[in-house]
Amino acid sequence: MPIAATDYNHVRLTVRDIAVSRKFYDDVFGFDVAFEVPDGADEQTREQLAFLYGGVIYQFGGGLLGLRPVAPVDDSFTEDRSGLDHLSFTVESLSDLNDASAHLDSLGIDHEPIKDLGDAGIAILEFRDPDNIALELSAPNS
């Protein structure tokens, strides 16, 4: 009998530089922080939060998104290897997708033009994070 999974719980991305990645995700999405090691944390707290590997876990309506800073500094993401192809987030409307495009422009973040996928019923906006991880925003195309 198949496993009866009902939803995603979390996704954690491996990144090279937590400061750079954190600024990007904070500026782009502004997600609430669910878990991080507080400044000045005692050893017991650090041990309890060791699963963060010095990173952060954000919380938003879709679940949890973590950043795990353990990639070598010379590494870079490619969707042509085994593993992740891209990560897509949902926004509510085409208007929100247009607003997101303007927000990325204001941050100086390169992105593709919004693409209408026609009969699929969605439009998408594609861009990349500092580790070259392919990100996408999806919205209904009407």
Q: Where are the alpha helices (DSSP H) in the chain?
A: 18-28, 43-48, 94-107
State the Cα–Cα distance between residues 100 and 52, nearest whole angstrom.
29
Query: Using one digit for the tens of pLDDT, what is the confidence trace for 28-38?
Result: 999 999 999 99
State the Cα–Cα distance between residues 13 and 32, nearest whole angstrom.
17
Element (H, E) at 122: strand 122-128
Give the pTM. Answer: 0.92
Query: Using one digit for the tens of pLDDT, what is the confidence trace for 95-112?
Result: 999 999 999 999 999 999
What was the pLDDT predicted at 86? 94
Element (H, E) at 68: strand 63-68
What was the pLDDT predicted at 83? 87
List, in order, residues 6 or more apart from 123 with CB less than 8 Å away. 94, 97, 114, 115, 116, 117, 138, 139, 140, 141
Classify domain 85-142 by CATH number: 3.10.180.10
Domain positions in the chain: 1-73, 85-142
In CATH, the architecture of 1-73 is 2-Layer Sandwich (3.30)
What was the pLDDT predicted at 131? 95
What was the pLDDT predicted at 76? 85
Cβ atoms 113, 66 nearer than 8 A = no
Could you give the C-alpha distances from 36 to 21, 48, 63, 80, 107, in angstroms and in order?
Answer: 14, 11, 16, 31, 25
What was the pLDDT predicted at 110? 98
Average pLDDT, 10 consecutive residues per value, the chain (142 residues): 86 95 97 95 96 95 93 89 91 96 98 96 97 96 90
What was the pLDDT predicted at 128? 97
